[in-house]
Amino acid sequence: MEKASKLKTDIEQRRHLFLKELDILTKKQYTTNHTANTIKEAYQRLYEERLEIVKQLNEDQHPLKKETIEKDSPPAPVIQHKPVPVKEISPEARRERNISILLSIGVAMLLIAGFTVAITNWNTMHEVTKTLSIAAVAMVFFSFSWLCEKQLSIQKTAFSFGVLGNLFLPIVIFTAGFYRLFGEWLSIFGSGKYVLGFLASALLLPLYGFYALRLKSRFYVWLCYITISIGVSFFLASLKLTIDLFFFGVALCNGLLIIAYVKKKIPEKLRLFTNDFLMFIHIQLIISTVLMTFIFEVQAMHSLNLFLFSGLYLAMMFARQRTEYHIGFTLLLIYAVYQFSEQTIFNEINAIFYALVGFIYISLERLFQKNPLFIRIFRMTSAALSSLAFLAISLKAITIYEAPSLFIFLAYLIVTANFVWLAYHTKWIATAFIAPVFLEVTILYGMYLLVPNVSPTSFPVLLFISGVILYGLSLLFKRYKYTLTIASATFVIFLCVIPFAALLKLSMIETAGAALQLFIYGIILIHVHKTTSYPLARQAIPWVQPISWALAWILIYQDIIYAWPYYEMTFNISFHLTLGSVLLLCTAFIWKRLKDIPIVKSTGATAIAYYLFALSTLPFAEMNELFVRTGILAFGIFLSELVRKVSKDGRFHILTNVFVLFTYLSLVDTIDVGNTVSEFLFLLIKYIGGVILLLFISKRFQSRAPWLANSAFYLAHIYLPMSLFITLSETNWHPVSLLLSVCIYIYSVLTWPRLLEQRILSLVAYVHVPLAFILTINFYSFPEELYAYTGFFSSSILFLITFVLKDIRKRDAIWLNILFSSIGMIILISSSFDYEVAAFIIITLYSGLIVFLFHQMKWYLLQGIPLLMQITAIRLLPFDELTNALFALSFAIIFKIIGKQYVKKPYDLQAPFLLAIKIDSFTIMSFLYTFSMYLWIDSSFNLLIQLLPSFVIVYLLYSQMKRFDSIFEKRIIQSLTATALLAPYFTLLNGISINPFIKMELYVLPFVALAFYLRWRIWNDLSISSIVEWFVLGIASFVLFFDAYTSNTVIDAILIGSLALLAIIGGFIYKVKAYFITGIAVLFITLFVYSRPFFQALPWWVYLLVGGLMLIAVASFYEWQKQRVNDEGKTLLQEKWASLLEKWRQWK
């Protein structure tokens, strides 16, 4: 004992020294408060563990292990927990788990089947039968518990079934009482219901005690505890005692149990019931309190009892220094306060009681000054309960009180004061922000209290005033240390309140009031900007201030046009916004004189954004076009140049050129030329003139202002297509406009120094060639058939141009010619006029031209595309179907010869880029042209003609075998050739009459033969061939079975069964898995389907019953035979299974 006392003193000294040093670290800011609290919590856990060890030393007189507490070791502030290793499940445990799962599922299926039978007849059953049915369920659980324990030796499953059986026993007694089997008096509806509860507890307690002693289970010990608690409560309730005597009886029972525990004269067998006794005493208080609440209905007494019990929990929390009691204390205290404030004479001021709950936890910190963990928990609980109290108070203020109440205001003040205290002591961000929010609500509610009968429209004004008051308080809070923590948060809330007030004012369509609030808000922000020291505020306010004034200027617009209608008709919103931008720029110049650079930048940026907003309204506003609209756009030139000068960034010259163009268009649009100039010439001056103006600026400032010149050049060519389209659409698509644009492109190519732009402009100029043909045909009303030949004429011209050009320009022309030729070929094929042989010849020339161009570009991979398009041309020839098919066959033979003579290899993947990969496109086209013969040849032709395309395809495939070198490639061709043989076979089948009973077999079985040939003759050494064989057998089996199922004839059933037997016999003799398994599967499915009427007659619960019995039988047999093993440790099933697996592995 002396040694333990010394150790305890040493532990206390260490703790005191550690906390003292940690406080010094925190005060000198070597660590944060959050880190210090974490270290304190970790050290508190270490301190509690050491005290537990000292306590065990006092009780058992065991020496303290050296490694537990070493006197010379320094205190560790953070406990490093080793990762807990994952417990591996042994094979025996896994086996028991699987058997338990099977048994549980089987029992569940039996119960569902039984309940189904019972429910269907429940209304016709007698009360005794219903009770016996539930008792039978309990007996089933007890039976399976016995089976698992005695026969199967699975203790966990036996325990689970035993628990279910014991839990069903109270349900059986309750059912008997519900159906009044013991008489009217001794039922749950009679006067002896408490006696029934006591008798049930008395009957169940010995049984639970027996299981607890027999199994040494804490679960059954707790069942005994709960049964004792409920039995005592029902016994006292049956005596018809008053609430005081009932509470005395519960206390007397607890006292007797505690005396018996303290005496410790308990037999050794009953020592199991003392391990959790102290925890049970605490829970016994909760159970008794809950039962007393249901038995008695005196609400005032409830609150006093709840206060008493919460005090007991507080005492236990203080005595044992355990945080677990905090939850019970908090719940009981909340319920007690609610009962006391709602069910007593203090109902009128219950809001104040709710608000004071948070201060209860603050006052408790004095009792736990040496335990930082409790202090932290109390503060968190105080914050949470105060927040809930605030919500409850607000709900009462809205729903109950019709007029503002002083009690509600005092409650708000108390909650706010609580959060101010928490913010000061905890330094939490959440409390620091919640406190000013509650303060704002308190101020607003106080204003309603001072000024009653305020109309709802005045709420934004009061909110604005409260925001101003909040700003004043934020300045005042900086002077006192207790409110310094919430000063920053109060300032942030102020920044949000006034804009919200203005938004509410705007929602009431009071724009003048909202504008005034935003203007005053901007003035306040100027003062804030000059006086604040918050870094975030100094960054945000220079932006918020001009934006608030900008919004105020927008809002005042409605009041201006209401007072002065001429302002809207002449200037409109665009001018108003532009004027606001000018005013903001003036403000920025004033700030620049005052040398306030941050707000100068933000105000200037706001002015620019304001002007951009004004520009977005120009298309929708009506105004004076000559002076107002042109002036607004001209102001953009000044503004962009001003920004460029200030920022010294030449890229803003782009905006300058944009505004120059729009100013020019606006100015020209206002000019009335009358009859002095033709409409066509005026349109050219109006739209094409803007391009010429930009090109003039580009040429004039090429050396002095490169950014200005380059941006003007690019903008001119971006605008040129749009201006050309507008000019053409308004001049009946006159081709002269197109020629003028071509001149501009030629000028740009000749004068611009960079090659990339020259190439792009050259390509654009090339595009004008087909457009010129189209516009000429349209304008001069030439025949419409010429449109289809536009692409051919353009391609011919570009083809001639390519002989003049060199290097990169030549490649550009070829690339564009390929595009034009492809489009022209598509247009020519899809044209709706009468097709002629000449057009077919042009398409053929197109194909040859595109193939030649692809060859020049070394795009060998694309050579087959124009040849493929030729098929459509053949289809449109004005001949009969047989002639067209022979045309396609002729092309196929020609392409086959070309591919064989001029292409050495079918493919060559060695290429510098993707499109340069060489592929024998001619041979591929020969296949496609042969396939295209089916477009004209159908079943109406002679059978030999129908067989012609398929035999040609087989020949083409067979002729390719010698062109490949590798065995793999030759195997692929052989496989394709064998597969292609199915085409003439199926064509032959379609041309002759077949018996319908064997028709499907004749269609399906060739696929099986093909799979067999590919598997065993070509791809015998490749595993993928086995997968293909499995897949083909599966699909074939499904198709044949579905055919037999739909026909539903005996002959089809005999055929499918015979084929399945042949597959089984063949697979068994030659040891082939695919045929053997497929045959068995088909045979079983056939038997099942044709025996379906028998199974459909059974009710569904029979399947549950059979399934449950099978699962239980399988699990039981498996466990039974597992316990009967041979000398090698293997069971009979394992021996048989190993033998079968060994033989199965020898199959193919």
Per-residue pLDDT tens over the stretch 8-29: 777 887 887 888 888 788 776 6
Q: Is residue 747 situated within a structural domain?
A: yes
In the predicted structure, residue 149 carries a pLDDT above the cut 60: yes
Q: Are residues 889 and 925 in the same domain?
A: yes
Q: Which amino acid is at 60?
A: D
In the predicted structure, residue 608 carries a pLDDT above the cut 80: yes
Q: Is residue 39 situated within a structural domain?
A: yes
Q: Is residue 929 situated within a structural domain?
A: yes
Q: Are residues 788 and 816 in the same domain?
A: yes
CA distances from residue 756 to 699, 731, 763, 817 in whole angstroms, order as listed: 18, 33, 11, 19
- State the pLDDT confidence band at 487, using cuts at 50, 70 and 90: confident
Q: Is residue 649 situated within a structural domain?
A: no
Report which of 475, 607, 596 is spatially closest to residue 550, judged by C-alpha positions: 607
Q: Which of 13, 30, 60 is the last residue of a domain?
A: 60
Q: Which of 847, 877, 907 is the last residue of a domain?
A: 847
The residue count of the chain comes to 1148
Q: Which amino acid is at 1010?
A: L
Q: Are residues 742 and 790 in the same domain?
A: yes
- 1104, 112 contact by CB (below 8 A): yes
Residue 907 forms beta bridges with which residues? 919
Q: Is residue 165 situated within a structural domain?
A: no
Query: Degrees (nearest 5) of the Cα angle 1026, 1031, 1036?
Result: 125
Q: Is residue 776 situated within a structural domain?
A: yes
Q: Are residues 753 and 812 in the same domain?
A: yes
**φ, ψ (nearest 5 deg) of residue 734:** -75, 130
Q: What is the rounded average pLDDT of the residues 256-273?
A: 69
Q: What is the pLDDT of residue 190?
A: 79
Is pLDDT larger for residue 403 or for residue 177? 177
Give the tens place of pLDDT for each residue, 968-1002. Answer: 788 888 888 888 888 888 888 877 777 677 777 77
The residues near 957 (Cβ < 8 Å, ≥ 6 apart) are 973, 976, 977, 980
What's the domain range around 945?
858-964
Q: What is the pLDDT of residue 1129?
A: 57
Q: Are residues 837 and 739 in the same domain?
A: yes
Give the tens place of pLDDT for each residue, 150-185. Answer: 766 666 667 767 777 777 778 778 778 877 778 788
State the Cα–Cα distance between residues 570 and 589, nearest whole angstrom.
29
Q: Are residues 806 and 903 in the same domain?
A: no
State the Cα–Cα distance between residues 860 and 863, nearest whole angstrom.
5
CA distances from residue 1044 to 13, 1055, 1078, 1080, 1088 in whole angstroms, order as listed: 92, 8, 16, 17, 14
Q: Are residues 769 and 795 in the same domain?
A: yes
Q: What is the rounded average pLDDT of the residues 279-285?
A: 68
Give the tens place of pLDDT for each residue, 1103-1129. Answer: 766 776 677 667 666 666 665 565 555
Q: What is the pLDDT of residue 45?
A: 77
- 856, 803 contact by CB (below 8 A): no
Q: What is the pLDDT of residue 920?
A: 81
Token couple for 655: 């905006």
Residue 908 forms beta bridges with which residues? 918
- State the pLDDT confidence band at 892, using cuts at 50, 70 and 90: confident
Is pLDDT larger for residue 282 or for residue 385? 385
- State the pLDDT confidence band at 69, using cuts at 50, 70 and 90: very low
Q: Are residues 739 and 833 in the same domain?
A: yes
Q: What is the rounded average pLDDT of the residues 525-543?
A: 76
Q: What is the pLDDT of residue 1148?
A: 66
Q: What is the pLDDT of residue 304?
A: 58
- State the pLDDT confidence band at 342, using cuts at 50, 70 and 90: low
State the Cα–Cα distance between residues 1148 and 1144, nearest whole angstrom.
9
Q: What is the rounded average pLDDT of the residues 1076-1096?
A: 74
Q: Are residues 769 and 748 in the same domain?
A: yes
Long-range (24+ apart) CB contacts under 8 A made by 336-342 are 336/303, 336/306, 336/307, 336/310, 337/303, 339/299, 339/300, 339/302, 339/303, 339/306, 340/300, 340/303, 340/304, 340/307, 342/299
Q: Is residue 1106 situated within a structural domain?
A: no
Q: What is the rounded average pLDDT of the residues 213-237?
A: 81
Place of tokens 């942030």: 492
Q: Are residues 761 and 825 in the same domain?
A: yes
Q: Is residue 292 situated within a structural domain?
A: no
- State the pLDDT confidence band at 76, using cuts at 50, 70 and 90: very low
CA distances from residue 833 to 211, 448, 472, 527, 775 in whole angstroms, order as listed: 99, 85, 86, 81, 20
Alpha helix locations (H) across 509-616? 511-531, 535-563, 565-570, 572-593, 597-616
Residue 919 forms beta bridges with which residues? 907
Q: Which of 12, 42, 60 is the last residue of a domain?
A: 60
Q: Are residues 864 and 809 in the same domain?
A: no
Q: Are residues 46 and 23 in the same domain?
A: yes
- Say how many domains are in the chain: 4
Give the tens place of pLDDT for each residue, 16-64. Answer: 788 888 878 877 666 766 677 778 877 887 887 787 777 766 655 444 4
